[in-house]
Amino acid sequence: MSDRPEVDWTTVPYRGLGDRTRPEPVDLATVVAGLPDGLRDRLAERADRLGYINGFLAVGLHHPGAVLALLDMTEQLKAALDPEHVLIVALATHQALGNEYERAQYLDVARAHGMSEAWIGAAQGRAVGGLTAAEEAVRRLTLAVVFAAPPTPALTAAGAHLDDRGLVAIIHLAARFVATSRISHALSLRPMTGPSPTAHDDPRGTAAAPAE
């Protein structure tokens, strides 16, 4: 039995949804009622921590098991890498693919972790000289995945700094971000900026929850 307080899912706002009418966001209360305890707790933890459900989940939860498994995979891959390398993979991918929805989120994360604007620019390929040799190798391997470029040069360079476990984590994480970039584009998801959701962000007109 979970010790987590019950969430009133009828009041949890959505954030980041686009203007398209379909596919519609799920009815959270209905979806959550049918989830196993482990998945319900995972979703409740996010709602408690963030105060909202993002647009990716609001629509993706039409297939709750699949989308929550994707989140689990992502967290496992992130745990295998240095936090700075995770940020480089995310920022390089979303900048290259023009995915403002997720790029904005990772810009916030990078700044919250104290990364300089010069470092953030270099991680996105918008500036030169702000990364270490290992970080630049991670960025180049990421872009080899994003653009399906010949992998050997990037793998060789990154392999000078990372073991095989790290190389595989970067490749899989970059591929994951490519997939979610395409999903975000197809769903016309909007960047989420500012400290808290508003009624404009939520098609149900729900008031904002605590800030992220």
- Confirm whether 125 is domain-assigned: yes
The number of distinct structural domains making up the chain is: 1
Residue 109, phi then psi, degrees to nearest 5: -65, -45
Is the pLDDT confidence value at 16 over 80?
A: yes
Tracing tokens 């190389």 back to the chain, one arrives at 167
The tens digit of pLDDT for each residue in 31-82 reads 999 988 888 888 898 888 888 898 999 999 999 989 889 989 999 999 999 9
Taking the C-alpha atoms of residue 57 and residue 49, their distance in angstroms, rounded to an integer, is 15
> Residue 128: which domain range?
77-186
Is residue 131 a part of any domain in this protein? yes
Give the CA radius of gyration of the chain: 18
Q: pTM to 2 decimals?
A: 0.83
Domain with residue 155: its CATH number is 1.20.1290.10
Q: Give the helix/strand (H/E) hosting 139.
A: helix 133-146
- pLDDT beyond 80 at 196: no
**Is residue 4 very low, low, confident or very high in pLDDT (cuts 50, 70, 90)?**
low
Contacts of 29-32 spanning 24+ positions with Cβ under 8 A? 31/61, 31/64, 32/7
Residue 135 placed within a domain = yes
Q: With bands split at pLDDT 50, 70 and 90, how would you rate the model's confidence at 123? A: very high
At residue 201, the pLDDT reads 44
Q: Poorest-confidence range of 25-29, 178-182, 197-201?
A: 197-201
3-state secondary structure of 54: strand
CB atoms within 10 A of CB 141: 29
Residue 167 domain-assigned?
yes
CB atoms within 10 A of CB 182: 12
In a domain, 212, yes or no: no
Asked whether residue 57 is assigned to any structural domain, the reply reads: no
List Cα–Cα distances, 77 to 1, 39, 40, 49, 54, in angstroms: 28, 19, 22, 21, 21
What mean pLDDT do residues 106-118 have? 95
CB atoms inside a 10 Å sphere around CB 129 = 8
* Tally: H helices and E strands in the chain: 10, 2
163 within some domain: yes
Dihedral sign, Cα of residue 92, residue 93, residue 99, residue 105: negative
Q: Which amino acid is at 181?
A: S
In a domain, 42, yes or no: no
